[in-house]
Amino acid sequence: MTGANPPGAGILDRSRIRLGRARRTVGAAGPQLAGAGRMLSPGAASAALTFDDGPDPVWTALVLDLLGELGVPATFFLVGQRARAHPDIVRRMLDEGHGIGSHSASHPDPAAMPVRELVDDYRRGRWMVESVAGVEVRLFRPPTGRIDLAHAPAIRASGLRPWLWSLDTEDWREGTTTEQILASVSPGDGDVVLLHDGLQPAGSPEAHSRAATVAAVPVLVERYRRAGLSLVLLPDASSAPARPRAGVLQ
């Protein structure tokens, strides 16, 4: 696993970021210092669907089935503990041309954990995903999208390449309907859409259900296609076929 710093600052033109009713109110300074991306390069007529908190043996499998039928790739940010519990799903993602990134080892609350412990959890999360996927994984999304100024230097020094989002569908909220998810998305060039194929922590059985998200996926794909936008992987997403990799945490 390389320790090289990620590329320079990500795409942070806040005038183009459409966060809507976003749940996170974190300033720009931390993400900028960490080199976090939020949107794809403008003018490429593309957008990206991203899924957090998986893999889940039921919901992720359904999302993958749909994406396969629709012929579109997506980027999945994996919780390390879940990746190691469901390695077959991780390998399926790669085999079917999707991208992966890490989403911490245990999905802690970044606001409630000391910086050293938090960054250690992020590093372990990367190692866990790599040990399953058999590829280097630099792409990273912090739990809740929070990057404080105190976290940013350690994230860069760890060689992680953080990516946030420009559109939050709020499918993480208990009781969110498919109609509400769809109402939160008006396709635009460069969009990075936040969805969830799992939920961590899961909470009630109702909160854990990703049925509304699964039902929204084909409609979102059709909307982006009608807008003339291609759905692509995030830059730096690991998408090579899974293969044995020595020297990674087992």
Domains of the chain, earliest start first: 30-231 (3.20.20.370)
Distance CA 127, CA 250 (A): 9
What pLDDT shows up at residue 80?
96
The residue from 86, 103, 107, 196 that is catalytic is 196
Tell me, yes or no, if 196 is annotated catalytic.
yes
Per-residue pLDDT, 6: 34
10-residue averages of pLDDT along the chain (250 residues): 35 37 56 92 95 95 97 97 97 96 93 90 95 95 92 86 95 92 96 91 67 97 98 88 42
Q: Would residue 151 show up in a list of annotated catalytic residues for this protein? A: no
User: What's residue 9's pLDDT?
Assistant: 34
CA angle 143, 212, 122 (to 5 degrees): 15
Instruction: To the nearest 10°, report the CA torsion of 79, 80, 83, 87.
Output: 170
Which residues have C-beta within 8 Å of that of residue 157, sequence separation ≥ 6?
3, 5
Q: What are phi and psi of 161, to 5 degrees?
A: -115, 95
Q: Of the residues 52, 148, 168, 236, which is catalytic?
A: 52
pLDDT of residue 147: 92
